[in-house]
Amino acid sequence: MVATSPPPTFERSTIEHVASAAGVSVATVSRALRGLPNVATATRVRVEEVARELNYRADPAASRLAAGRSRAIAVVVPMINSWYFSNVVAGAEAVCAEDGYDLLVATAPHSTSRDDVIATAESLQRRVDGMIFVEVSLQPEDVEVLQRRNLGVVTVGQDTGVYPSVRIDNVEIGAIAVRHLLALGHRRIGILGAQAEDPAWFDVPGQRIEGARRAMADAGIVLDPELVAEGEFTVEGGHDAALALLHRPDRPTAIFALSDEMAFGAVVAARDLGLGVPDDLSLIGVDDHEVAQVLGLTTVRQHVVEHGAVAARALLRRLGATRRDGWPITNGTIAVGATELKIRGSTRVP
Amino acid sequence: MVATSPPPTFERSTIEHVASAAGVSVATVSRALRGLPNVATATRVRVEEVARELNYRADPAASRLAAGRSRAIAVVVPMINSWYFSNVVAGAEAVCAEDGYDLLVATAPHSTSRDDVIATAESLQRRVDGMIFVEVSLQPEDVEVLQRRNLGVVTVGQDTGVYPSVRIDNVEIGAIAVRHLLALGHRRIGILGAQAEDPAWFDVPGQRIEGARRAMADAGIVLDPELVAEGEFTVEGGHDAALALLHRPDRPTAIFALSDEMAFGAVVAARDLGLGVPDDLSLIGVDDHEVAQVLGLTTVRQHVVEHGAVAARALLRRLGATRRDGWPITNGTIAVGATELKIRGSTRVP
DNA sequence: CTGAAAGCGCTAACAG
DNA sequence: CTGTTAGCGCTTTCAG
């Protein structure tokens, strides 16, 4: 074997350089560096040393091609520049970084369009070993396609019944929030909600409202549909919706906003009308956004970063157990994220 | 040549399947599908058709290995779950999606640690064709290493003098904000700022404050260092800092917050102290965060999503012009993002 | 425990 | 305009 001269450090060294410099075969280098068994400790140490000296790292493209795995995953989100999604991505990113996986972010254009979800998945096909769908609704047909493609999938926010998922109990969230208001003595409770994007499969607002309805029913109160306003999950939407509610002659003494951001809008709306929070209006949100802390907003906290992290971990675990010949058959296991009531100053007795 | 039988649609078809099905060589398929010249129109059409039928798409790993390019870029950010960074990423993502580039997100742990930046770059080495460093300070040594590595780089927020960058004129931003306050008649102006992370190379707060200082100097006023408080660019930090300023016997009649989020904290602080905005205190921020709109916060708007998009476009353009044998030598061209004063209700005459 | 050799699926000369 | 033929740099049997 002809010794390949080691390249200057600023050039890319290949496995061959390492092999010849260490006086072993490329196969051994490959094994040694990946921590595979059947490598003499002395050999492994030497190889690692040489690799470090040469600043060698396996070319991902080559190793992907040869191994059939990419050590990369994708998070598919409707958008990234929103509090919720960017936090989920942050959680996933941290886990990936830890395990040396690449993280691609992809936005699924309009999740209303069936084709787009599949198109996104197709385009990600061989570039990643698996994907996390965050609040992207997968229909049974989609799941079927994904299964045929033999892809690693984890969902956040939806239960496909097939893939692992991390979710929160949205009905319970609604109930927690409203029970808190009821306990304080509120009877006329308004809700800042939103239209379900895909009512059949994916109705976060509907579930939270359902929880609210049940809590009220338990207290012998009927939820007045007139007191449910659309806030679109945005600050501005929440502002407008709250304004509408507060302009009513029989305005509510408390408002349950399905998200903190809508609650912020409500805070401003109250101020606009000269109403004090909590003096004239109690307000409770969901999320525990940073601003909620400063604002003193009572809220039902969810641990969003953790959702992303748990999803990523589930996916990576699954990938780890994978062989080229297929995924281990695992039914969708579900991790339900914790939620807790965080009482601050925005709620009190009416 | 033996005709390879077309695989069932749910299996991965290779370029060979397409070639034999279309009755041409793999080279022709490759050319046709990538829109290269020297392919008869009829041939191209046929190949495209067959490829579509077989649901074929080139394996990225294989094509990366063969071509030496990955059609992927990375955005390196200090964190993704903050308003600013998630918006930059959103802009970059949109451009990448448009051009069929993969987008990896990587967080550069503590940008205070020199090694980390290089380590991040190294680890991204062959996985991407280029990277966008967002508010990650690159020292001359780092730049040197990156140049040796022959990597496509674009920066957001810093001018390396070597790579294209997109920035905003932070001195001007400070000046715009304070001129506005001065024009209204304010004389005692407080500032919610922050410590520079890397004073020598990267001092956004320092620059904005410098702009403020100059604007005041032009009006014959000396900036009182006592009126500059640290808000750490967070809502909570802004809250605490504002509280400190407002507790002073000679409290300012106006506050310039270096970011909207700090301004939000100030709004709450004012409310805590029973001070009205703008009645007792004028407030101006920077960014034009969604919440600023609802809150009616006067601010100096910057177009953050666009920053990410422009950076990505600059990078992709540069990559497009690239050959395997090296980057075209281009000195750092600079795109300066627009900023404009957005007057809302939080500022008025003292 | 280690080496040789056969690809992984594609791109890029180089001939025709 | 099209086909042939080397690789790209690694992983993975299969022998030793």
Contact A80 B93 (CB under 8 A): yes
- A323 within domain boundaries: yes
Q: For the purposes of burial, counting CB atoms within 10 Å of the CB of B187, is it exposed (0-12), middle (13-18) or buried (19 or more)?
A: middle
Q: Closest partner residue to A90 among B64, B79, B148, by Cβ?
A: B79
B174 plus B287 within the same structural domain: yes
- B349 within domain boundaries: no
Distance from the first to the final alpha carbon of chain A: 87
B48 plus B102 within the same structural domain: no
A115 plus A214 within the same structural domain: no
Give the span between the Cα atoms of B295 and A29, in whole angstroms: 61
Confidence of residue A200 (pLDDT cuts 50, 70, 90): low
Q: Which residue has the tokens 């359902």?
A: A210
Tell me the shortest Cα–Cα distance from A162 to chain B, in angstroms: 19
Give the span between the Cα atoms of A60 and B69, in whole angstroms: 12
Hey, which residues does A284 pair with through a beta bridge?
Answer: A256, A298
Tell me the shortest Cα–Cα distance from A72 to chain B, in angstroms: 9
Residue A4, pLDDT score: 40
Give the span between the Cα atoms of A322 and A129, in whole angstroms: 10
**Given the DSSP bridges, would you call strands B228-230 and B189-193 parallel, antiparallel or unpaired?**
parallel
The protein residue nearest nucleotide D8, judged by CA to C1', is B66
Contact B234, B262 (CB under 8 A): yes
Give the span between the Cα atoms of A262 and A234, in whole angstroms: 5
**Rounded average pLDDT over B75-89:** 95
- pLDDT, tens only, A289-344: 999 988 899 999 999 999 999 999 999 988 874 433 344 435 567 788 899 999 99
The protein residue nearest nucleotide C2, judged by CA to C1', is A28
DSSP three-state, residue A72:
strand
Q: What is the CATH number of the domain that holds B36?
A: 1.10.260.40
Contact A105 B107 (CB under 8 A): no
Quote the mean pLDDT of chain A.
89
- B151 within domain boundaries: yes
For strand C, which residues in window 54-93 of chain A come within 7 Å by CB? 62, 65-66, 68
Contact B291 A291 (CB under 8 A): yes
- A79 within domain boundaries: yes
Residue A125, pLDDT score: 84
Contact A105 B97 (CB under 8 A): no
Residue A299 has phi, psi (to 5 degrees) of -155, 165
Closest chain A residue to the Cα of B265, Cα to Cα: A294
B residues 179..218 contacting A (CB < 8 A): none
Question: Residue A209 belongs to what H/E stretch?
Answer: helix A204-218
Residue A104: domain span: 70-168+303-337
Task: Show the CA angle centred on residue A289, arms to residues A284 and A293, nearest 5°.
Answer: 75
- A2 within domain boundaries: no
Question: Residue B93 belongs to what H/E stretch?
Answer: helix B83-99
Q: What is the CATH number of the domain that holds B332?
A: 3.40.50.2300
Does the pLDDT value for residue B70 go beyond 90?
yes
Tell me the shortest Cα–Cα distance from B254 to chain A, in angstroms: 21
A326 plus A213 within the same structural domain: no
B122 plus B269 within the same structural domain: no
Contact A105 B89 (CB under 8 A): yes
Dihedral, B162, B165, B170, B176 alpha carbons, nearest 10: 130
A34 plus A84 within the same structural domain: no
What pTM did the predictor assign? Answer: 0.91
For strand C, which residues in window 238-257 of chain B come within 7 Å by CB? none
- pLDDT, tens only, B231-278: 999 999 999 999 999 999 999 999 999 999 999 999 999 999 999 989
B residues 241..300 contacting A (CB < 8 A): 264-265, 268, 290-291, 293-296
Tell if B38 CB is < 7 Å from nucleic strand D.
yes
A residues 55..94 contacting B (CB < 8 A): 55, 57, 59-62, 64-65, 70, 72, 79-83, 85-87, 89-90, 93-94
- B179 within domain boundaries: yes
**Rounded average pLDDT over A5-30:** 80
Whether omega before A225 lies within 30 degrees of 0, making that bond cis, reads no
Q: How many other CB atoms are there within 10 angstroms of residue B184's CB atom?
A: 18
What are the distances in angstroms from CA A24 to CA A150, A327, B245?
Answer: 37, 34, 68
Two structure tokens written together for B157: 């927020």
Q: Taking every pair of C-alpha atoms in chain A, what is the biggest distance, in angstroms?
A: 91
Edge-to-edge order in the sheet of strand A165-167: A334-336, A165-167, A152-156, A130-134, A72-77, A102-107, B102-107, B72-77, B130-134, B152-156, B165-167, B334-336
A271 plus A210 within the same structural domain: yes
A164 plus A175 within the same structural domain: no
B212 plus B137 within the same structural domain: no
Q: Which residue has the tokens 């890397």?
A: B198
Hey, which residues does B154 pair with through a beta bridge?
Answer: B132
B206 plus B297 within the same structural domain: yes
B119 plus B191 within the same structural domain: no
Hey, which residues does B104 pair with through a beta bridge?
Answer: A104, B74
CB pairs under 8 A between A and B: 128
Task: Please tell me the total count of domains within chain A.
Answer: 3
Tell me the shortest Cα–Cα distance from B174 to chain A, in angstroms: 24
- pLDDT, tens only, A233-276: 999 999 999 999 999 999 999 999 999 999 999 999 999 999 99
**Rounded average pLDDT over A157-178:** 94
Residue A163, pLDDT score: 92
Confidence of residue B148 (pLDDT cuts 50, 70, 90): confident
Contact B297, B283 (CB under 8 A): yes
Contact B90 A81 (CB under 8 A): yes
Residue A327, pLDDT score: 40
- B200 within domain boundaries: yes
Q: How many other CB atoms are there within 10 angstroms of residue B335's CB atom?
A: 17
A105 plus A210 within the same structural domain: no
Q: Closest partner residue to B61 among A65, A105, A295, by Cβ?
A: A65
Contact B117, B138 (CB under 8 A): yes
Q: Closest partner residue to B148 among A10, A97, A236, by Cβ?
A: A10
Tell me the shortest Cα–Cα distance from A310 to chain B, in angstroms: 17
B residues 109..168 contacting A (CB < 8 A): 122-123, 125-127, 148-149
DSSP B225: G
Give, as ranges, the nucleotides of chain C with any atom within 7 Å of a protein CB. 1-5, 7-13
Torsion-angle region of B317 (φ positive above 0: left; ψ -120 to 50: alpha; else: beta): alpha
- Residue-by-residue DSSP string for A261-321: HHHHHHHHHHHHTT--TTTT-EEEEEE--HHHHHHT-EEEEE-HHHHHHHHHHHHHHHHHT
Residues of chain B with pLDDT > 90: what percent?
71
Quote the mean pLDDT of chain B.
89
- Identify the residue with better confidence: A141 or B180: B180
- A348 within domain boundaries: no
The protein residue nearest nucleotide C3, judged by CA to C1', is A25
